[in-house]
């Protein structure tokens, strides 16, 4: 389950970014988990509360996720289709030759926090 290690890295990055910017409390982080990234969002949801235990700035943070679709361009007939839904096979011509157009990314997309009013 490599979800844990990438999640730890994302949380550490969020923590570091918060520290660098003087953010005391992160209210949410958004992860972009592509359909073809190989990571299962359900695991991130499961482990997030455990991982943030060691990160004071993230203890109240909510985990949000965006899951960009995994699109493939058929190299045989040029159809664009969803690789997950079609199990890697072009629905138009049945070819498996394709170029992946997106959905392979995993990244920390956004860190959300409340602006503390400056006194």
Q: How far is the CB of 103 from Zn ion (least distance, A)?
A: 18
Q: How far is the CB of 104 from Zn ion (least distance, A)?
A: 20
Q: How far is the CB of 99 from Zn ion (least distance, A)?
A: 12
Site string for Zn ion, 60-79 (x = CB under 5 A): --------------x-xx-x
Q: How far is the CB of 105 from Zn ion (least distance, A)?
A: 24
- The backbone torsions φ and ψ at residue 5, rounded to the nearest 5 degrees and listed phi first, read -65, -40
Nearest to 10 by CA among 43, 37, 32, 27: 32
- What residue has token string 């990234």? 37
Name 50's Cβ contacts closer than 8 Å, sequence gap at least 6. none
106 bridge partner residues: 33
Q: Measuring CA to CA, how many Å separate 13 from each of 1, 31, 55, 99?
A: 20, 12, 11, 31
Residue closer to Zn ion, measured from CB, 49 or 91? 91
Q: Is 90 in the site for Zn ion (CB under 5 A)?
A: yes
Q: Is 27 in the site for Zn ion (CB under 5 A)?
A: no
Residues near Zn ion (CB under 5 A)? 74, 76-77, 79, 90, 92-93, 95
């Amino acid at each position: 389950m490599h979800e844990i290690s990438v999640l730890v890295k994302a949380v550490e990055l969020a923590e570091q970014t918060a520290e660098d910017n003087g953010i005391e409390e992160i209210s949410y982080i958004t992860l972009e988990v592509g359909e073809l990234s190989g990571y299962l969002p359900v695991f991130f949801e499961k482990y997030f509360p455990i991982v943030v235990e060691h990160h004071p700035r993230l203890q109240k943070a909510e985990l949000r996720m965006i899951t960009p679709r995994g699109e493939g361009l058929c190299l045989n007939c040029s159809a664009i289709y969803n690789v997950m839904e079609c199990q890697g096979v072009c629905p138009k011509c049945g070819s498996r030759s394709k170029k992946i157009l997106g959905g392979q990314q995993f990244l920390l997309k956004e860190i959300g926090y409340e602006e503390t009013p400056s006194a």
